[in-house]
Amino acid sequence: MKLIVSDLDGTFLNSRHEVIQENVEALKAAQREGVDIAIATGRNYGNVLALCQRAGLRPHVISNNGAFVYDKDGKLIKSIGLDKGRVKEALDWLEYRNYFYTLCTDHSIYMPADAHAILTSDYANATNLVRQMTPEDLKEGIDIFLTLDSTVFVNDFHEILKQDVTFGNISAITLDYDKLRQGREYFSNYDGMSMTIAGKDIFEMIHPSVSKGNALEYLAAHLDVSLEDVMAIGDNYNDISMLKRVGISVAVANAEDDVKKICRHVSLSNDDKGVAHMIHKMLGRMVVPVCKRRA
């Protein structure tokens, strides 16, 4: 095992999207054994960097579901962005149908200025909830989401599109099952973009050539590491492309069933420190016993 790659939400972080210290210490232990570490996430690089700095981690980072790849020194080594014409068309479709959405670069999450009101209204108008939530659950979830590092609130997304930046992904969130199904069906066949799923109430649009798997393959080649010597850990559909390519594929216990089916190992859940559990298990296998000489 020469490289460990972990997803963030639903995997490395607990169900409240908090860092688990045992997972941090496990990654540090792997580094001390000479193993490279990386984070592969739908979040953008700016958000991941802030989180890792607070945790005292220095990983390579695959962000925006594979649109950007950074080495552990913060150097951008790969970037594939969305066509701005396609972005505008997609945002117009989402806005006309009252979806909440964000537009992300590698360092910024552009979010509507009235994000709280949009998400609250979506919940109130849902005819068929994706998951059962109390108003208190909703408020807590929205508060966590709106306080993400690198969030920028905007009034006009069309002005943002005029900026000379690379947009890695669009994320749409709805708590209404019928709207969720409609949006996923529409963008699953959208020309010029691919759709990926990272959670029960979300769908995201990325460049057709972008995936965590493609980004991981590029990172491994950059590090001169065989994919057979990589352990990847994940929980959702956007992790499948990387889990299928590595020698050691791990699903946490809370992962989607389709993810568990393609993995060689199933660890404990994200709330039960599943990442740390599997890392220590694999590190233990790396220890070569010392044979005592006969007298």
Q: Supply the residues annotated as catalytic.
A: 7
Distance separating alpha carbons of residues 80 and 168, to the nearest angstrom: 7
Q: Provide the 3-class DSSP secondary structure of residue 118.
A: helix
Q: Which of 164, 58, 158, 187 is nearest to 105 (CA)?
A: 164
DSSP secondary structure letters along 182-209: HHHHHHHT-TT-EEEEEETTEEEEE-TT
Contacts of 229 (CB under 8 A, 6+ apart): 1, 2, 3, 247
User: What's the CA gap between 72 and 38, in Å, rounded?
Assistant: 8
Long-range Cβ contact pairs of 117-124 (< 8 A, separation 24 or more): 119/145, 119/173, 119/175, 122/98, 122/173, 122/174, 122/175, 122/176, 122/179, 123/175
